[in-house]
Structure 1
Amino acid sequence: METPTHEADEFRSEFLLLLRSRRSAQVPLVVDSSKPVENPIFQSPVPSSEALESCPREHIDNLNDKLKEENLHLHTEAAEQGRLPLLILSLKESSNQRRPAIVFMHGTNANKEWLRPWLEAYASRGYVAIGLDSRYHGERADSKTAYQDALISSWRNGDTLPFIFDTVWDLIKLADYLTQREDIDPKRIGITGISLGGMHAWFAAAADTRYSVAVPLIGVQGFRWAIDNDAWQARVDSLKPVFEEARIDMGKNEIDKEVVDKVWNRIAPGLASMFDSPYSLPVIAPRPLYVLNGAEDPRCPLGGLVVPLKRAEKAYSITASPENFKFRAEDGVGHEVTRFMIKESSDWFDKFL
């Protein structure tokens, strides 16, 4: 029987092989200073930030005056999308003590500027808080349809991985950078995100052990289970243009499970097979992982999590760290992040970082 360590190494080897197969030329790990974004691009109506604004923060008078703000671009590869925009907030301190850091990922069609209340709350509590624009979002979007256009291009050409995986590559390169910073403890780097950002957090933690604590919010799901159990519609509706394009190309009158399967395999190979949650969640063990979803979320149906959660629980048990794994589906909640989730994730990071 394979050990959890062997399975994790095998998973990461195969996953990194896929990521590297779609890379442009490698570049040195260079960081450039940039300016704050005055009018960030939202590719859909601006989502509510009420839950983020509820995040626990220290009561510091004139907090904005005491925050250090860094606007940077990290070069992750030679391609056009290989400039990763970063917004980093931390407290101005004279101490040279290394601090814990957390990477925050926005949802579909949002951007790093939307994350600011969340970043400020963690920075007030002594964390180095890092927000970034995922691929084809924020500073990396040239139009309000940039992300959907990239998904369609991937379906047609198969040369990029804009759904989840390309941004995970950026997160691996980001870990290279963060572990070199003198103000960050390289053994205390967490990651979290909402919806698409939750998927980014989940896969980044699976791919890179330098993310020592992970809290994916409303993102973890079973892609194969959804196809096999006719529960894919809500997820597909969130990315409808690429599935419509595929339907037309395949000569179908409507989107069906065959269309869904082929699209996933084209724009994110292995997402509904070898890299799906039954295989990717367990490899995060024994690092602390808290999965938070809505019990009524049609994009992340609970039926698709039965097997992944059982396998994760087994992996944490085998690695003698059952207390490091937690799952909560908030009753009566659909696909939305709540104050409860924000507070729970905050407590989890405080406990382990």
Structure 2
Amino acid sequence: METPITKSQEFRSEFLRLLQSRRSHKVPLVADSSKPVQDPLFQAAVPSTETIESCPKENIGNLKEMLIEENLHLHTEAGEQGKLPLLIISLKDKSEERRPAIVFMHGTNTNKEWLRPWLEAYASRRYVAIGLDSRYHGERAHCKTAYRDALISSWKNGNTMPFIFDTVWDLIKLADYLTEREDIDPKRIGITGISLGGMHAWFAAAADTRYSVVVPLIGVQGFKWAIDNDEWEARVNSIKPLFEEARIDQGKKEIDKELVEKVWNRIAPGLASHFDSPYSLPVIAPRPLYILNGAKDPRCPLGGLEVPLKRAEKAYKETACPGNFKFVAEDGVGHEVTSFMIKESSDWFDKFLKQSGHVHM
């Protein structure tokens, strides 16, 4: 009988093969210094930072003066989108001790600069906090329609995967870089994100075991379930121009489930089949995973999580770590991050990344 580990390895090899199938040329893993971004690009209205500002922080009076900020470009592949912009914030520290690190992923149409209050809160608590621009966002976007245009181009040409998967490739390369840094404990690297960023966190952890603690916020969903149960509309509406373009190309009067499945298969092959949440969540076991969603979130309908959650629970039991898995759908909450989610994720990271230098396995 196959062990869960074998299944996980098979999943990762197959997923990596897909990611490599649409890459440009390999380049050496180099991080160049860059300048702070003075006027970050938002591709839609700027979301409030009030919730992430509620993140627990150490009471350091002169915190801003105590922080070190690094702006870098990490080369993850050839070409313009192969330059990964990083914003790394940490606390000045004279000790030689390696610290835990957390990667933070922004949502659709925002950027790493928006994450700053969240990064600073974790840095105050002695984490190395890493924000980045996902593909076609922030420094990787040259206009307000960059992400939308990239999605449409992927549908038409099938040569890139701007929805989730290309950024997961960057996150694998980022793990290569972070594990080599002298200030970071390579065994204590967490990842979290909001909405699209939550999807990035979930798939990066499925793809790469170096992300040892994972907290996706309002991102985990069942893509195939949504198609089969006509619950796809809210997710589709979040990137509507792509589906409108596909509808016209296919000569359809309206967007329907058949079209939705076609689009996912084209721009993110396997997203609505063998890489979907019923298969990708269990492979994160036994690493600590806390999924936080809104109970009324139409983009991540709870019905689509029944099977994935059952399978994940089973995987955590089989690896003798049932306490490393948690799911909460916050009552009355739609597609939004709350201060409860920010506090819960903070406590989860502290529990698994702060104690005794290693994750509990």
Q: Mark yes or no: TM-score above 0.5.
A: yes
SS state at 2:43 partner: coil
Q: How does 1:329-340 map onto structure 2 within 5 Å? A: 329-340=329-340
Could you say which residue in structure 2 is the equivalent of 1:22? 22
SS state at 1:70 partner: strand
Q: Which amino acid aligns with 1:110?
A: T
* Structure 1 stretches of 4+ moved >4 Å: none
Q: Which amino acid aligns with 1:310?
A: K
Q: Distance in 2 between matches of 1:241 and 1:154?
A: 13
Structure 1 unmatched runs, 5+: none
Could you say which residue in structure 1 is the equivalent of 2:91? 91
Q: Which amino acid aligns with 2:200?
A: H
Note the C-alpha offset of 1:2.
Answer: 1.8
Q: Which amino acid aligns with 1:29?
A: L
Structure 2 unmatched runs, 5+: 354-361
Could you say which residue in structure 2 is the equivalent of 1:180? 180
Could you say which residue in structure 2 is the equivalent of 1:59? 59
Q: How does 1:201-240 map onto structure 2 within 5 Å? A: 201-240=201-240
Q: Distance in 1 between matches of 2:31 and 2:79?
A: 16
Q: Which amino acid aligns with 2:272?
A: A
| CA-atom RMSD in angstroms | 0.4
Note the C-alpha offset of 1:3.
Answer: 1.2
Q: Distance in 1 between matches of 2:298 and 2:325?
A: 23
SS state at 1:347 partner: helix
- The one-character-per-residue Cα deviations of 1:178-207 (angstroms, maximum 9, x if unpaired) are 000000000000000000000000000000
Q: TM-score, normalised by structure 1?
A: 1.00
Identity of aligned residues (%): 82
Q: Which amino acid aligns with 2:145?
A: T
Q: How does 1:338-353 map onto structure 2 within 5 Å? A: 338-353=338-353
Note the C-alpha offset of 1:48.
Answer: 1.1
Q: Distance in 2 between matches of 1:333 and 1:48?
A: 17
Note the C-alpha offset of 1:61.
Answer: 1.2
Note the C-alpha offset of 1:122.
Answer: 0.1
SS state at 1:317 partner: helix
Note the C-alpha offset of 1:79.
Answer: 1.9
Could you say which residue in structure 1 is the equivalent of 2:326? 326
Q: Which amino acid aligns with 2:131?
A: G
Note the C-alpha offset of 1:171.
Answer: 0.1
Could you say which residue in structure 1 is the equivalent of 2:159? 159
Q: Distance in 2 between matches of 1:275 and 1:62?
A: 46
Could you say which residue in structure 2 is the equivalent of 1:280? 280
- What is the aligned residue count? 353
Could you say which residue in structure 1 is the equivalent of 2:295? 295
Q: TM-score, normalised by structure 2?
A: 0.98
Note the C-alpha offset of 1:212.
Answer: 0.2
Note the C-alpha offset of 1:53.
Answer: 0.2
Could you say which residue in structure 2 is the equivalent of 1:144? 144
SS state at 1:216 partner: strand
Note the C-alpha offset of 1:256.
Answer: 0.2
Q: Which amino acid aligns with 1:277?
A: S
Q: Distance in 1 between matches of 2:4 and 2:327?
A: 20
Q: Which amino acid aligns with 1:212?
A: S
Note the C-alpha offset of 1:80.
Answer: 1.3
- The one-character-per-residue Cα deviations of 1:135-161 (angstroms, maximum 9, x if unpaired) are 000000000000000000000000000
